[in-house]
Amino acid sequence: MSEKMLDGKVAIVTGAGQGIGREVALAMAAHGAKIVVNDIGVGLDGNATGDDPATKVVAEIEAAGGQAIASHGSVSDWDSASATIRAAVETFGKVDILVNNAGIIRDGMVHKMAPKDFDDVIDVHLRGSFYMSRAAAEHFRAQNSGCFIHMTSTAGLIGNIGQANYMSAKMGIVGLSRSLAQDMQRFNVRSNCIAPFAKTRMTESVNAPEDQKAARAARIAGWRPEAVATLAVTLASDASSEISGQIFGARGGEVFVFSQPRPIRSVHKDGGWTPEGLSKVLPKFGPVYAPLSEIAMTWDSVD
């Protein structure tokens, strides 16, 4: 039997009880990794459901001949996050891959958003990604290897109405990933982001104007979580050992790389500018200003 891409590796996948996280956990297990399936069993809003999806995914992995354990700790709590990393090391001897996928949504227009709804989303997505990464980083540094994969979103990279909390968290994750890539490069550790396009309970929960719902449903029908899982497996494998600090996307059969902010135009004046003088120049940058449109793909139809 040929060697699998993740043979001998140990992966932790947060939010792995359903949707994209589940597909990533199953795919990594199918490619030889031992998996810590982390999920506390909550709804999209972060409230408890009484379900135990992590244990169900572990059973699926074991039924297919893989090895896995369930973790029910919250990523938004430092002690729980650290305990999840320890569980991987104590059970499987090490940790090689961390996939920060756990998340919740609390949508609302920014002028109506409750501060708690902002804080809770930041806590799970951004603070949770940091806590998990911080706890894993000690082991990655000691073993001189490791791979971080974080789930960002076009909601952060491009924008989406009514998601100030989610947008802030997802853009923050990009900064966290970039920091991990730079800080940990000397220890042969890499960090990348994936902006997933997939039909899941989260994407289906996003509100859309009535006249756009049918078109949106048709557009996302072919966006399968398996495509995101395939990209995650590839980034986690040794075949991607030279790739770090990047933002990828997966949408059906399409995989792409996002650009990252860099200066694109400048204007200089000896002695500096006055507000009056600069006010006449800034409008001339108009052709290179990023539009407020939520359209992420310039090659897509906007109909």
90-115 pLDDT per residue, tens: 999 999 999 999 999 999 999 999 99
pLDDT of residue 217: 58
pLDDT band at 294 (very low <50, low <70, confident <90, very high): confident
Lowest mean per-residue pLDDT among 92-96, 166-170, 216-220, 249-253? 216-220
CATH architecture of the domain covering 10-257? 3-Layer(aba) Sandwich (3.40)
pLDDT of 161 above 80: yes
Please report which confidence band the pLDDT of residue 200 belongs to, taking 50, 70 and 90 as the band edges.
very low
Mean of the per-residue pLDDT values for the chain? 91
Q: How far apart are CA 191 and CA 193, in angstroms?
A: 7
| CA 227, chain centre distance (Å) | 14
Q: CA angle at residue 86 from 121 to 40, to 5 degrees?
A: 35
Residue 166 among the catalytic residues: yes
Edge-to-edge, what's the strand order for the sheet holding 254-257? 68-71, 34-38, 10-14, 97-100, 146-151, 189-197, 247-251, 254-257
Q: How confident is the model at residue 209 (pLDDT cuts 50, 70, 90)?
A: low
27 in Cβ contact with 115 (< 8 Å):
no
Given 130, 140, 148, 166, the catalytic residue: 166
Could you tell me which residue, 252 or 121, shows the higher pLDDT?
121
Nearby residues of 106 by Cβ (< 8 Å), 6 or more positions away: 45, 46, 113, 114, 117, 118, 120, 121, 165, 166
Q: How far apart are CA 189 and CA 148, in angstroms?
A: 8
Q: 176 near 126, Cβ under 8 Å?
A: yes
Structural domain boundaries in the chain? 10-257
Enumerate residues 6+ apart whose C-beta is below 8 A from 218: none
Report the distance separating Cα 208 and Cα 194, nearest Å: 23
The pTM score is 0.90
Q: Is the dihedral of CA 118, 121, 123, 125 positive or negative?
A: negative
